[in-house]
Amino acid sequence: MSSSKKNLIIDHEGPFQGQKLDCLFSEQEIQARVKELADQISHDLENAKKPPILVGVLNGSLFFMADLMRAMSIETEMDFIKISSYHHTSSTGTVRLVKDISAQITDRDVLIVEDIVDTGLSINFLRNRMLSNAPHSLRVVTFLYKKEVSQLKKEPEYIGFVIPNRFVVGYGLDLDQKYRTLRDIYAFAPDNKQE
Ligand SMILES: O=P(O)(O)OC[C@H]1O[C@H](OP(=O)(O)OP(=O)(O)O)[C@H](O)[C@@H]1O
Ligand SMILES: Nc1nc2[nH]cnc2c(=O)[nH]1
């Protein structure tokens, strides 16, 4: 564990107040892994006929998307889709489309950019939705992957880190819209999910 790793204590009022979270990944570790992913994806997509379209999944992927795109060595275009399925720390089991992409993705190389795959419901939904528009290729990159709990129909092509089944915040990930701007990633104690 690097010396820059700290704990985080939840300070806002509510059911989680006072809880101590562990730092899972420091800013340095995050940025190093983003660069590795960017190099690998740039290499895999370097022969694309047109610039690949990166589709960021709002809100959580905002910082990962920005860091990844800027670290890539090939030209890319960006678009965003917004879905929602979480209440506090639990999936409702239903993915709701809040804002669709505006790009035409037919015959284009598309990369869905996610901050986290947990149950996998969001990515299952997004893959189906994108494939219905016949892209030339469709890939998924997720920065975090709760492999042991996900019910993905198809594994993400690119994974930042496989993590245990603990609720995490920071680097875009929120708890009731808070903590997204933290530069490190923090995890609740195991089995600490609450409705
Ligand atoms: O694999 P799943 O269980 O579907 O979870 C993953 C999704 O959950 C989060 O989104 P959320 O609905 O919390 O919205 P947000 O990105 O705006 O925080 C995250 O950004 C993923 O899109
Ligand atoms: N903030 C946050 N959002 C999620 N969405 C799905 N899993 C998670 C998680 O562990 N943390």
What's the CATH number where 118 sits?
Answer: 3.40.50.2020
Q: Classify residue 15: in a domain, yes or no.
A: no
Q: Classify residue 128: in a domain, yes or no.
A: yes
Q: Classify residue 194: in a domain, yes or no.
A: no
Distance between CA atoms of residues 25 and 96, nearest Å: 30
The residue whose CB lies within 8 Å of the most ligand 1 atoms, and thus the one to mutate among 55, 89, 115, is 115
pLDDT along the chain (195 residues), means of 10: 72 87 97 98 97 97 98 98 86 92 98 97 96 98 96 95 97 95 95 52
Question: Would you state the structure tokens that stand for residue 29, as one six-digit string?
Answer: 């570790």
Sign of CA dihedral 163, 60, 159, 121: positive
Question: Would you state the structure tokens that stand for residue 107, as one six-digit string?
Answer: 């015959």
Q: Classify residue 12: in a domain, yes or no.
A: no
- The whole model's pTM is what? 0.94
Q: Classify residue 79: in a domain, yes or no.
A: yes
Per the annotation, the verdict on 118 as an active-site residue is yes
Nearest CA to ligand 2 atom 7: 118
Q: Fill in the amino acid letter for 174.
A: D
Overall number of domains in the chain:
1
Structural domain harbouring 108: 21-85+95-187
Q: Fill in the amino acid letter for 55.
A: V
118 CA distance to ligand 2 middle (Å): 7
pLDDT score, position 182? 97
Q: Classify residue 13: in a domain, yes or no.
A: no
Give the three-class secondary structure for 2. Answer: coil
CB atoms within 10 A of CB 155: 15
Q: Classify residue 78: in a domain, yes or no.
A: yes
107 CA distance to ligand 2 middle (Å): 32
Pocket of ligand 2 (CB under 6 A): 86, 116, 118, 167-169, 173-175
| Residue-by-residue DSSP string for 125-141 | HHHHHHHTT--SEEEEE
The residue whose CB lies within 8 Å of the most ligand 2 atoms, and thus the one to mutate among 82, 168, 177, 178, is 168
Q: Classify residue 131: in a domain, yes or no.
A: yes
ipTM of the complex: 0.97
pLDDT score, position 195? 41
CA 129 vs CA 115, 126, 138: distances in Å: 18, 5, 11
pLDDT score, position 78? 98
